[in-house]
Amino acid sequence: MLGDKEPCLPVKLQSQIDALERLATLDSEIKDLQEQLAREREALAKKRQALQELDGKLVRDRQSVEDMERMRNELMLELRQMSNQIEKSREKLARCRTEREANAAQREVEELRKLYRDREIEIERLNGLADQARAVIEATTADREKIGAELGETEGETTSRLGEVEASASSKEGSRKDIVSQVQPALYRRYELVRKRRGTALAFTTDGTCSECHMRLPPMLYQQLRRNEEFGQCPSCNRILYFRLDAPPGAESQSEEGPSTGP
């Protein structure tokens, strides 16, 4: 059982029940507001993060294109130099007087031609990669503009809504302090301990069943609660328990004999 062992007066107990009910309702509203704030902030943060990631990707892809263009220009310069070397080697081959000199000059021309072709292949590869990178940049830019437009349309509205929700939550926190001052300190400490573990701390019974976990209460505990002398504690969920006089018609006489222990 929760609470002091000495029974409280019914009137005093009822005032504590009223205060706890108001506190539980307010805590539920504050929790909903906090969850709403968290969702709104998370959605806004995700869009900002997505925008930042796209900006970073654009910077990297553009730098990659610049690097490929620089490499291609360097290879084009090498091609021009090789072309001149090939012409010189051909002239040298034409001036050869011996077979040995001719063979050496021919090998030089063939090696230069192979290097020239390798450079052409590399330039073609770089051109293809650069074209692919430009296509990716174009698609990324479109995505970035879309998210940027969405963020521009919703950021101000979301920020305004966040301010309203925060103001509402702050107001409810102020009301909560007033209610807490009406709850006995020991009872409030128990309330907070259970709330932090269970999310909600208060439950009631009308027919011998816990309103939160829906488990049957021991008959002796139920009869004690019906006397409205003190709070109880649900053996299953550990929430603070009290008896509420809002049982459906006909249930009162059945409850006098105690709850059923069957499943």
pLDDT at 156: 76
In this prediction, residue 207 carries a pLDDT of 92
pLDDT < 50 positions in the chain: 1-9, 247-263
* Domains and their CATH numbers in the chain: 10-32+180-256 (1.10.287.1490), 34-172 (1.10.287.1490)
The reported pLDDT for the residue numbered 122 is: 94
Alpha-carbon span 87 to 26, nearest angstrom: 91
Q: Which amino acid is at 172?
A: K
Output the pLDDT for position 169. 84
Cα gap 263→189, rounded to integer Å: 34
pLDDT at residue number 162: 81
What pLDDT was estimated at residue 92?
Answer: 83
* Cβ atoms of residues 15 and 187 within 8 Å: no
Q: What is the pLDDT of residues 195-226, one digit of tens each?
A: 999 989 999 999 999 999 999 999 999 999 99
- pTM score over 0.75: no
User: What pLDDT is stored for residue 11 in this prediction?
Assistant: 53
| Residue 7, CA atoms < 13 Å, CB-side half-sphere | 9
Whether 10 contacts 229, CB under 8 Å: yes
Instruction: Tell me the C-alpha distance between 165 and 260, whole Å.
Output: 46
Contact 190/197 with Cβ under 8 angstroms?
A: no
Distance CA 180, CA 174 (A): 10
State the pLDDT at residue 165: 82
Q: What is the pLDDT of residues 154-197, one digit of tens each?
A: 777 777 878 888 888 888 888 899 999 999 999 999 999 999 99
